[in-house]
Amino acid sequence: MNILAFMLNCSMQNLECVQGYKKDAKVVVNVTVEGSPGPVRTMVKLGSSVDDTIKLVVDKYSEEGRTPKLDKDAALTYELHHSYFSLQSKSRFEL
């Protein structure tokens, strides 16, 4: 199991933050993949599900040629955590 840790200025679970923005508004998400030397930065639409965010990050990670290699087909097994030190993962269907 790989752990993806993310940090947002505007928490994805805080729907008040999403309100007042257009549906096509995006935020920059920094995601650290366990074993990778640095975070992946990618743009994510406000209101995207955790599952969509994971898919975007895995695609960006592979596109950049980072190691260790991630299996794109195994994206459903990845988890998204608030930080590297957090044991609680986000639900796949949370916004």
Tell me the pLDDT of the chain (95 aa) as tens digits.
Answer: 444 554 443 444 444 555 555 667 888 989 888 888 889 999 998 888 888 888 999 999 999 999 888 887 887 788 888 776 766 677 666 65
Closest CA to 50 of 22, 37, 72, 31: 31
Cβ atoms of residues 2 and 68 within 8 Å: no
State the DSSP code for 13: T
Give the integer Cα–Cα distance in Å for 75 and 56. Answer: 10
